Amino acid sequence: MPRNAWYIGAPTTRLDKAPVPIVIHGLPVVLFRDADGHARALHDRCSHRGVALSLGTIADGMMACAYHGWRFDGEGRCRHIPSLRDDQRIRNTQIRSYPCVEQDGYIWLWTGDDEPGDRPLAIEKFDRFQWLQGAIELACEAILPIENNLDICHAAFTHPELHPQWFRAQAVGLVPTRYELDMSATNLTVRGPETLLSFDLPDRVTVGGGEGFRLILHHVPTIPGRCIQHWLLRREPVTEAEPPFWSTEEPEILAQDRLVLESAQRTYDAEGDAFERSVEADATTLAARRLLAAATRDPASATQMKRSVLVRS
Ligand code: FES
Ligand SMILES: [Fe+2]
């Protein structure tokens, strides 16, 4: 996954009175609100003896370490060491801070080494719609659920009793279906007769669109072999009821994907990926791989592509 990009740290609602520890791209980070209510992100390690700052408290809008009470402001500057006499100065105690933006219901972080891009990509119509929001942790690399959510031929098998494609397959079987792929340097859109999927770098998959159903998924790498899937589901505009198949714990349909993805990850861990075989229906997931590979290694190598595939789905 590309490092120089905005990723979700946490939903804004999680950032209340207590500091929030997260891990992103292998980096321990603590999120908190400063005295002005702005979200802040610091490396979650005290420069005194290495204790996680997230074990501490927020004092005067600063992170106060749980061990000896050193306080760090939102820029990572140590502002107060309780044990110092008045005639002693604070020196060499800076810790790393990360650019942090609050937008569309999330706190977004930039942990890359390049200068941050101006803002995270906006979530279309976020303010106009109502949303359900949640997250689940997956024991697999972030690319697996990204591919899975763009995979046009899995729902009839992975999602019994839940996915429209499964119900249709039960009723009439799989039928030849044409899907149009449209790839730019930062986006892949897949359109079928009843399908609209979109992938935006680095990690956003949108299912549905327009005024109808919309599920937005982000996939944040944490430690190697794990990721967090943040989901955002548009509430039913008419009833405002939660969709019956959805819960805020672990939505069952995501649990069904988890089962196959974590299984696949165990295989990749044990065997690498040389065993993989692909068919034409994998065009969508392979396109997402290409997009991510270009963004991670060499953004200038990104190419545009349009093609259509005809598969039984
Ligand atoms: S370890 Fe943080 S103040 Fe000592
Ligand atoms: Fe799925």
Query: What's the rounded mean pLDDT across residues 10-16?
Result: 93
Query: Which pLDDT value is given to residue 117?
Result: 80
Ligand 1 contact, 72 CB (< 6 A): no
Q: What's the 81 CA to ligand 1 centre distance in angstroms?
A: 9
Please report where in the chains the tokens 């995979």 appear, as a residue. Answer: 151
> Per-residue pLDDT tens for 278-294?
999 999 999 999 999 99
What token pair was written down for 215? 């599920």
> Per-residue pLDDT tens for 230-260?
999 998 655 555 565 666 678 999 999 999 9
CA distance 253 to 162: 7
Query: Which pLDDT value is given to residue 223?
Result: 97
Give the residue whose CA is nearest to atom 1 of ligand 1.
49
> Per-residue pLDDT tens for 168-196?
999 999 999 999 999 999 999 999 999 99
Q: Classify residue 37 by burial, with Cβ atoms within 10 Å: 0-12, 13-18, 19+.
A: exposed
For the CA of 70, the closest atom of ligand 1 is 3
- The residues with which 10 forms a beta bridge, in sequence order, are 107
Tell me which amino acid residue 199 is.
Answer: F
> Per-residue pLDDT tens for 103-128?
999 999 999 999 998 899 999 999 99
Which stretch of DSSP H or E encloses residue 245?
none
Ligand 1 contact, 6 CB (< 6 A): no
Give the residue whose CA is nearest to atom 4 of ligand 1.
68
Q: What's the 50 CA to ligand 1 centre distance in angstroms?
A: 7
Ligand 1 contact, 68 CB (< 6 A): yes
Give the residue whose CA is nearest to atom 3 of ligand 1.
68
For the CA of 50, the closest atom of ligand 1 is 1
Domains of the chain: 6-110 (2.102.10.10), 131-312 (3.90.380.10)
Average pLDDT, the chain: 94
Query: Which pLDDT value is given to residue 13?
Result: 93
For the CA of 53, the closest atom of ligand 1 is 2
Please report where in the chains the tokens 């359900």 appear, as a residue. Answer: 132
For the CA of 81, the closest atom of ligand 1 is 3
Query: Which pLDDT value is given to residue 242?
Result: 59
Q: What's the 264 CA to ligand 2 centre distance in angstroms?
A: 14
- How many CB atoms within 10 Å of residue 143? 19
Ligand 1 contact, 90 CB (< 6 A): no
Ligand 1 contact, 266 CB (< 6 A): no
CB 90 within 8 A of CB 81: yes
For residue 28, whether the previous peptide bond is cis, meaning omega lies within 30 degrees of 0, is no
- pTM (predicted TM-score): 0.94
Query: Which pLDDT value is given to residue 118?
Result: 86
Which strand ranges, in their side-by-side order, compose the sheet holding 204-208? 131-138, 227-234, 214-221, 204-208, 195-200, 187-192, 176-183, 305-312
Ligand 1 contact, 246 CB (< 6 A): no
Query: Which pLDDT value is given to residue 76?
Result: 98
Which stretch of DSSP H or E encloses residue 134?
strand 131-138
Q: Which of these, 132, 131, 97, 128, lies nearest to 9 by C-alpha position?
A: 97
- The residues with which 77 forms a beta bridge, in sequence order, are none
Pocket residue to mutate for ligand 1, from 47, 57, 65, 78, most atoms within 8 A of Cβ = 65
Which stretch of DSSP H or E encloses residue 171?
helix 164-172
CA distance 201 to 290: 11
Q: What's the 255 CA to ligand 2 centre distance in angstroms?
A: 9
Q: Which of these, 187, 218, 265, lies nearest to 24 by C-alpha position?
A: 218
